[in-house]
């Protein structure tokens, strides 16, 4: 049986004349459709189709691999108008270009990244494809269906957590003037890697489809609606959106409340609302706490002005201030302590999971994982002047749109030395304070970082409570010594990158990828350089999963510096063979913990030879243009001979693990295979002309 779809993509059984979800008249679209794009086909010389993963009213959705981006998984959403006139196609592309500019500026770890708009002619039919990142996960609608089969639904605690995780995403898009317009369980996905919700299928794209196709199907002409396209699912969208097309930030909050009720009750909106007076009757389906029930009711108010107007207002309602005083724990003192300690909130240290080099000895969080944020709480007794040296992780989901930690303490928070501290200890602590300020490092992040390093040196100190009395002076001195060492290591980072410590998120990874891809370098090569610089200063972190710790922020800072080194070409060179030559030799010297990336444009079937003359402290990595083939990685091998499988820019990465400068000489040669000998029946009239070694191939597009 062939399903039918309305202009908004709602699925209906064969023979339907009206959409069962929104009531729209279904156009007389032929049901005999082709089988779509077959697996293995490559679109735009870039996207290799893996399989079809969905079908809607305007086309199909495909899972594909981006062969220009190391075969990263991506999604191609097809828009192929059934009515194929030059005007319809032209208008569709104009509107999609406009919406693409909106999608492009959305750079958030819980929103699939927009890659490009692709226009193709397939079998004589114009098609537009929106290319976005692939989300490995399930929609909340699918999750609900799975639970209902077991007699289960979502709990209030789960919904409360979901709100805490998705509201920062809405706050982010609203800050850019973007309204989603189509929030529902179908457009929320739970990502498998980090178990964070992801917001998909923005209504702006569907509005384009509705504007282009629905108007044509229903009227036979492209006449723009007088009050905007009426977009949204019946029951999920607020009344004013369905009646006038007018949307605001509170429109998304209304749809979000309906979505939460569907997950809580397992009922569709039409089953929860009284169609006579349009009042919500959800309380007979689920029992919620009074406070949470009031929040849901306010979000669902039929009068727009009575709802929460912003995400910030809603978050304040969900997280009311404590009625009782809260004694927030503090940190081991690196500033001179005072007899009357000033309490302050724990820092919010954003952490993320970037893709780093493929060496199993190095931390390798999975691709496209979300941003989990950890609050490092350090127990410090305040009124008694006691110091706590251990810390504990509490996983929290903070506002990903503003993932910053609080600024350095004001002068009122910088405590005076305790009376019983020796003059030497007071002087030592003041020196640490001055060094930190000179380096521009956030105080709270600095304390969390030093605590981590100090604890890892002696795990038995985890949770150890230290007083400011003389008997603990030796441990305080050891902590201060660790702090001084950490500050010395951080001084190797540029001031620009140091200022961002505590603020890095995995959105940086996307920015880095775009930047290096523009010069035909893969992010894997960048991470090799970042690892070398980071592990020189913190060798004890090798092989550890440090990204979710404060030390992971330091890794980000080192990689950011190496990115700048590559872009400034101090750590990047393009190898170009002299005219008529088949090879090139480059010489140089690497400082400890530094590296360099080389690229060379070579052709398929050429015979490549690589030779590196250097001591064993220099490691060599070689990658194919697509990144799919790894010839060497962090290797001490000094030569390689291969027949090349691809045409494009090959990457050669050298990093130093030495403790002193090391000279190197890298030679790359590439010769064309010999021309085949003519058979006895062939009489060549002239010598075959060998193919020239390419010096340039098209630059992969970046997003």
Q: Give the H/E segment covering residue 425.
A: helix 423-439
222: burial class by Cβ within 10 Å (0-12, 13-18, 19+)? middle
Whether residue 252 lies in the annotated active site? no
Whether pLDDT at 340 is above 60: no
User: What does the pLDDT read at residue 658?
Assistant: 95
* Strand stretches in 318-467, DSSP E: 348-350, 373-378, 387-388, 391-396, 465-466
Question: Region 466-493: what's the mean pLDDT?
Answer: 87
Dihedral angle sign, alpha carbons of residues 521, 525, 531, 533: negative
Whether pLDDT at 390 is above 60: no
HEC sequence for 240-290: HHHHHCCCCHHHHHHHHHHHHHHHHHCCCHHHHEECCCCEECHHHCCCCCH
Angle between the N-to-C axes of helices 507-517 and 550-567, in degrees from 0 to 180, rounded to the nearest 10:
20
pTM beyond 0.75: the answer is: no
545 vs 141: CA distance, rounded Å = 33
Give residue-wise pLDDT tens across range 651-699. Answer: 999 999 999 999 999 999 999 887 776 665 544 444 443 444 343 433 3
User: What does the pLDDT read at residue 191?
Assistant: 93
118: DSSP letter: E
Q: Report helix, strand or coil for 442.
A: coil
Which residues, in sequence order, are CB contacts of 673 under 8 Å at separation 6+?
605, 606, 607, 643
Dihedral angle sign, alpha carbons of residues 233, 236, 237, 243: positive
Distances (CA, A) of 86 to 83, 90, 98, 524: 10, 6, 18, 44
Q: Which residue has the higher pLDDT, 678 or 544?
A: 544
Give residue-wise pLDDT tens across range 618-663. Answer: 999 999 998 889 999 999 999 999 999 999 999 999 999 999 999 9
Give residue-wise pLDDT tens across range 296-314. Answer: 999 999 889 999 999 999 9
Share above pLDDT 70 across residues of the chain, in percent, rounded to a whole number: 68
Q: Residue 229 has which token pair?
A: 């396209």
Q: Report helix, strand or coil for 348.
A: strand
Residues 370, 193 contacting (CB under 8 angstroms): yes
Torsion angles phi and psi, residue 394, rounded to 5: -125, 115
User: What does the pLDDT read at residue 511?
Assistant: 85
Distances (CA, A) of 281 to 163, 274, 692, 693: 21, 7, 75, 73
Q: Report helix, strand or coil for 480.
A: helix
Q: Which residue has the tokens 């209906």?
A: 12
Question: Region 561-573: what's the mean pLDDT?
Answer: 94
Range ranked top by mean pLDDT from 395-399, 406-410, 536-540, 670-674: 536-540
129 vs 438: CA distance, rounded Å = 51
494 vs 627: CA distance, rounded Å = 30
Choice among 66, 133, 182, 480 that is catalytic:
182
Beta bridge partners of 389: none
586 vs 654: CA distance, rounded Å = 12
Nearest to 215 by CA among 84, 38, 88: 88
Which residues, in sequence order, are CB contacts of 340 under 8 Å at separation 6+?
none
Question: How does residue 344 score in pLDDT terms, banded at 50, 70 and 90?
Answer: very low
Beta bridge partners of 573: 598
Cα-to-chain-centroid distance, residue 206: 24
23 vs 235: CA distance, rounded Å = 12
Which residues, in sequence order, are CB contacts of 50 under 8 Å at separation 6+?
39, 62, 63, 64, 65, 73
Give alpha helix (H) positions in 319-469. Answer: 423-439, 443-457
Beta bridge partners of 114: 132
Q: Residue 652 has which token pair?
A: 């050669």
Give alpha helix (H) positions in 122-155. Answer: 140-148
656 vs 589: CA distance, rounded Å = 10
Question: How does residue 233 score in pLDDT terms, banded at 50, 70 and 90?
Answer: low
Q: Report helix, strand or coil for 668.
A: strand
Give residue-wise pLDDT tens across range 584-615. Answer: 999 999 999 999 999 999 999 999 999 999 99
Question: Region 550-557: what's the mean pLDDT?
Answer: 94
- For the chain, the helix, strand and coil percentages under 3-state DSSP, each to the nearest 5: 35, 20, 45
Distances (CA, A) of 588 to 116, 216, 585, 664, 666: 39, 65, 10, 6, 9
């Amino acid at each position: 049986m062939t399903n039918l779809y309305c202009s908004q993509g709602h699925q209906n059984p064969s023979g339907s004349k009206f959409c069962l979800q929104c009531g729209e008249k279904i156009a007389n679209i032929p049901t005999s459709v082709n089988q779509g794009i077959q697996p293995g086909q490559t679109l735009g010389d870039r996207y290799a189709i893996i399989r079809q993963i969905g079908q809607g009213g305007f086309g199909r959705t495909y899972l594909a691999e981006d062969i220009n981006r190391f075969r990263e998984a991506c999604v191609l959403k097809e828009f192929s108008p059934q009515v194929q006139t030059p005007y319809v196609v032209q208008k569709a592309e104009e509107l999609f270009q406009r919406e693409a500019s909106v999608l492009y500026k959305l750079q958030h770890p819980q929103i699939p990244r927009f890659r490009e708009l692709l226009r193709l002619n397939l079998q004589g039919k114009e098609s537009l494809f929106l290319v976005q990142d692939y989300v490995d996960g399930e929609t909340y609608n699918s999750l609900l269906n799975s639970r209902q089969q077991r007699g289960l639904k979502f709990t209030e605690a789960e919904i409360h957590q979901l709100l805490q995780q998705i509201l920062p995403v809405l706050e982010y898009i609203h800050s850019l003037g973007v309204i989603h317009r189509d929030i529902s369980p179908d457009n929320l996905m739970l990502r498998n890697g980090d178990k964070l919700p992801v917001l998909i299928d923005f209504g702006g794209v569907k509005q384009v489809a509705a504007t282009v196709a629905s108007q044509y199907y229903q009227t036979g002409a492209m006449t723009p609606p007088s009050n905007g396209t009426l977009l949204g699912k019946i029951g999920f969208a607020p009344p004013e959106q369905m009646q006038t097309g007018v949307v605001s930030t509170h429109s998304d909050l209304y749809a979000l409340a309906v979505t939460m009720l569907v997950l809580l009750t397992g009922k569709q909106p039409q089953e929860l609302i009284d169609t006579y007076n349009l009042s919500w009757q959800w309380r007979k389906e689920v029992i919620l706490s009074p406070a949470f029930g009031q929040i849901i009711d306010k979000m669902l108010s039929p009068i727009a002005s009575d709802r929460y107007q912003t995400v910030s207002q809603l978050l304040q309602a969900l997280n009311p201030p404590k009625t009782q005083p809260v004694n927030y724990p503090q940190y081991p003192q690196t500033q001179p302590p005072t007899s009357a300690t000033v309490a302050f909130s724990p820092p919010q240290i954003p952490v993320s999971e970037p893709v780093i080099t493929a060496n199993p000895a190095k931390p390798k969080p999975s691709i496209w994982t979300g941003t989990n944020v950890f609050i490092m709480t350090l127990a410090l007794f305040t009124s008694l002047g006691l110091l706590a040296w251990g810390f504990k992780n509490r996983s929290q989901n903070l506002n990903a749109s503003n993932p910053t930690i609080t600024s350095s303490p004001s002068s009122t928070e910088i405590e005076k030395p305790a009376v019983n501290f020796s003059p030497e200890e007071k002087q030592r602590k003041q020196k640490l304070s001055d060094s930190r300020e000179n380096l521009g490092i956030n105080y709270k992040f600095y304390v969390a970082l030093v605590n981590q390093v100090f604890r890892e040196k002696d795990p038995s100190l985890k949770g150890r409570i230290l007083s400011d009395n003389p008997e603990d002076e030796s441990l305080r001195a050891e902590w201060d010594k660790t702090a001084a060492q950490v500050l010395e290591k951080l001084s190797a980072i540029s001031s620009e990158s140091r200022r961002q410590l505590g603020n890095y998120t995995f959105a940086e990874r996307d920015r880095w990828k775009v930047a290096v891809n523009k010069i035909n370098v893969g992010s894997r090569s960048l991470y090799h350089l970042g690892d070398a610089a980071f592990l020189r200063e913190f060798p004890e972190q090798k092989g550890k999963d440090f990204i979710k710790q404060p030390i992971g922020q330091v890794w980000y800072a080192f990689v950011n510096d190496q990115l700048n080194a590559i872009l400034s070409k101090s750590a990047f060179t393009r190898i170009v063979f002299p005219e008529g030559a088949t090879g090139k030799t480059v010489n140089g010297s690497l400082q400890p913990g530094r590296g360099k990336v080389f690229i060379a444009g070579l052709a398929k079937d050429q015979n490549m030879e690589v030779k590196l003359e250097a001591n064993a402290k220099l490691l060599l990595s070689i990658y194919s243009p697509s990144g799919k083939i790894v010839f060497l990685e962090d290797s001490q091998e000094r030569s390689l001979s291969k027949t090349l499988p691809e045409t494009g820019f090959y990457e050669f990465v050298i990093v130093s693990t030495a403790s002193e400068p090391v000279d190197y000489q890298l030679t790359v040669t590439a010769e064309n295979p010999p021309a085949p000998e003519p058979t006895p029946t062939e009489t060549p009239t002239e010598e075959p002309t060998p193919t020239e070694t390419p010096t340039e191939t098209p630059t992969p597009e970046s997003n």
